A and B are shown apart, each in its own frame.
Chain A
Amino acid sequence: MKKNKLKRFLQITLISIGTGIVLMPLILGGLLSFTPSQLIMQGHLLSTHFTLVNYRQVFIETPMLQFLWHSLVISTLVMLGQMLCAISAAYAFVFLKFRFKRLIFGICLSTMMLPFEAQIIPNFNTMRDLDLLNSYAAMGLPFMASAFGIFMIKTGFERLPNELYQLSQLEGLTHLQFINKVVLPYSKVTLVTFGLYSFLSNWNMYLWPLVATTNDKVRTVQIGLRQLRAQDTASNWGLIMAATMVAVSPTLIIIFCGQRYFKSGLTSGVVK
């Protein structure tokens, strides 16, 4: 028994050290966001001088709040669009009969192999020619169809027991009733998982928002943060870290609250 206890103690110590190292950059960033920039420049990384001045500066002197709003709008719209497209497509693939089904599903899936980076120049030109640069449409439209989403939700739908399907047919449910009353409630976990995952990826997008925005009109928080860093010549690290913490908190909250969805959803839905 004693040996077991010692082993467990050792294990917990190792886990704590590992977790500490992994979290170090975030903890450091968090601490610095409450430290006056002058102290950071002098190399005082662990100062006892606690200040909120960095956050005040972020919210009052920079357009960070505006960027946060843009990110929220874009991430939510793209998430809803992706879910709507993916649910419709997955429903067709699982419950309906039509010609070329396998072929179309195959083509859908194969779009996952094509890197967005290889499509970015024509997409930029399309948006420029339609005069859509610096608009929500340009930021969201290219991402509305997600092959990964279709695949994941299709896998979720396929788990619906056959009896439920047959029963619904006997009851004479319309497609809309069947979707609303049976399919969607039954696949709740898959849907929530994909929704969270989608929001997270949209919030963290980088290359396209960088290319498709030339002014602050719909600029996202990620690109706003990059800009803040690039414009900062005085190495105002306190301010930058406060802005960084503002940019990362929504996604950290999603990770903490949605932990059980990510774990079950990503491991069962994707790996197998």
Chain B
Amino acid sequence: MKSSIRGHYLAWLLLAPTIAIMVAFMGYPMLKTIFLSSQLTDLAGNPIKFVGFENFIHLLKADSFQTSLMVTLIFVCFTTILTIVIAYGLALLTKDKFLGIDIFRTLISSTMGVSVTVASILWLFIFNPQSGLFSISLKTLHLSPINWLSDPLWSLIAIIGTTTWMNLGFAYLILLGSLQSIPDDLYRVANLHGASWWLTLRKITLPATKPTVFFVSVVTLINAFQTFGQVDILTAGGPDFHTNLMVYAIYQDAFVNHNVGRASAQSIVLTFIIMIVTLIQFWWRQKRQGRSK
């Protein structure tokens, strides 16, 4: 009994550092951001006047925010779908065990260790109009050059491509793990019945990996909403705000245009979106666990 009484104090002692950091650097800033989103702020970021929801109303009416929101949604959807499809394909291809396969698996998952800065600079060269890889390839094929990073449509595609590439390693590794946990017997039975590759994929593989696909999609989706570095290095939000993703817009408003009220309002919108996505995932997981019990 003694241990549980001491345990009581010990528990709070052990939790103290975590709680202190979370309150100081997550809880307090979150409340402050909510407060700032209701304020008119001066150039130094100090609140001047309570304006209620006016920041939000201005935001929703502003063309720049509408563009930013729309581009963000397009970006997030395409990035997530592409990441899942390509990573799943690679995982399917490398799921069988044979000599040397581990090397391929490690190599494919290596983009997991690549930072935003590194990925963006590598792709910046590939998209570079003078000597970049794509420009030279197009030239060799006698096709007209594309202004990858200064054309409204292509620049978004470039950001989607770079982000998808960066995400591949993690998504691949998780999906591979899920594919490998499917019991071999299932495939053996399917083989005995002469099921085709396509049928096996549709009836065994896809259903068995569905929870993992869902999990990876949510993680990729949330990460995509928080995209910043790629935009900062590749396009700086341009041309004409066509790659002005939400977090980049927040950063610009907060640290370049010094409009803290507006930046805070956008931050709250972002928080809401991410909370909703997370809650959907949580709810879905609970439902699944409830069913399997």
Contact = CB atoms under 8 A, between A and B. Distances in A.
B122 A41 contact: no
B26 A204 contact: no
B122 A121 contact: no
Contacts of B123: 25
Contacts of B12: 92, 98
A144 B17 contact: yes
Contacts of A74: none
Interface string B189-216: 0000000000000000000000110010
A15 B178 contact: no
Contacts of A247: 115, 117-118
B264 interface: yes
Given A14-B93, A204-B115, A222-B116, A111 B26 contact: yes
A204 B167 CA distance: 13
A42 B122 contact: no
Given A254-B113, A255-B109, A150 B18 contact: yes
Contacts of B98: 8
Contacts of A57: none
Contacts of B119: 25
Given A19-B108, A121-B254, A267-B174, A41 B130 contact: yes
A118 B270 contact: yes
B18 A255 contact: no
Interface string A215-233: 0000000110110010000
Nearest to B230: A206
A175 B115 contact: no
Interface string B70-96: 000000000000000000011001101
Nearest to A253: B113
A164 B185 CA distance: 35
A263 B131 contact: no
Contacts of B112: 200, 255, 262
B10 A121 contact: no
A130 to B, nearest CB: 11
A85 B21 contact: yes
Interface in A115-141: 115-126, 141
Contacts of B232: 206, 210, 226
Chain B interface residue number, banded: 35 or more
A22 B4 contact: no
A40 B131 contact: yes
Nearest to B98: A8
Given A117-B228, A119-B30, A222-B115, A211 B110 contact: no
Given A121-B254, A204-B116, A262-B112, A96 B7 contact: yes
B226 A22 contact: no
Contacts of A120: 29, 250, 254, 267
Contacts of B32: 121-122
B174 A266 contact: yes
A251 B177 contact: no
B8 interface: yes
A271 B213 CA distance: 10
A28 B271 contact: no
Contacts of A60: none
Interface string B131-157: 101001000000000000000000000
Contacts of B59: none
B56 interface: no
B107 interface: yes
Given A15-B93, A96-B8, 12 more contacts: A29-B125, A45-B133, A85-B21, A92-B12, A114-B274, A117-B247, A118-B267, A121-B29, A121-B33, A206-B115, A248-B115, A271-B174
27 contacts: A16-B104, A28-B126, A40-B131, A42-B131, A85-B21, A88-B18, A92-B14, A97-B11, A114-B271, A116-B226, A118-B33, A121-B29, A121-B32, A122-B32, A126-B29, A144-B21, A147-B22, A206-B229, A207-B247, A229-B124, A237-B131, A244-B118, A255-B109, A256-B106, A266-B173, A266-B177, A267-B178
Interface of A: 8, 11, 14-16, 18-19, 22-23, 25-26, 28-29, 32, 40-43, 45, 84-86, 88-89, 91-92, 95-99, 101, 104, 107-108, 111-126, 141-145, 147, 150, 169, 175, 200, 203-204, 206-207, 210-211, 222-223, 225-226, 229, 235, 237, 240-241, 244, 247-248, 251-252, 254-256, 259, 262-263, 266-268, 270-271
Interface of B: 3-4, 7-8, 10-12, 14-15, 17-19, 21-22, 24-30, 32-33, 36, 45, 89-90, 93-94, 96, 98, 101-102, 104-119, 121-126, 130-131, 133, 136, 165, 168-170, 173-174, 176-178, 181, 211-212, 215, 225-226, 228-229, 232-233, 247, 250-251, 254-255, 260, 263-264, 267-268, 270-271, 274-275, 278-279
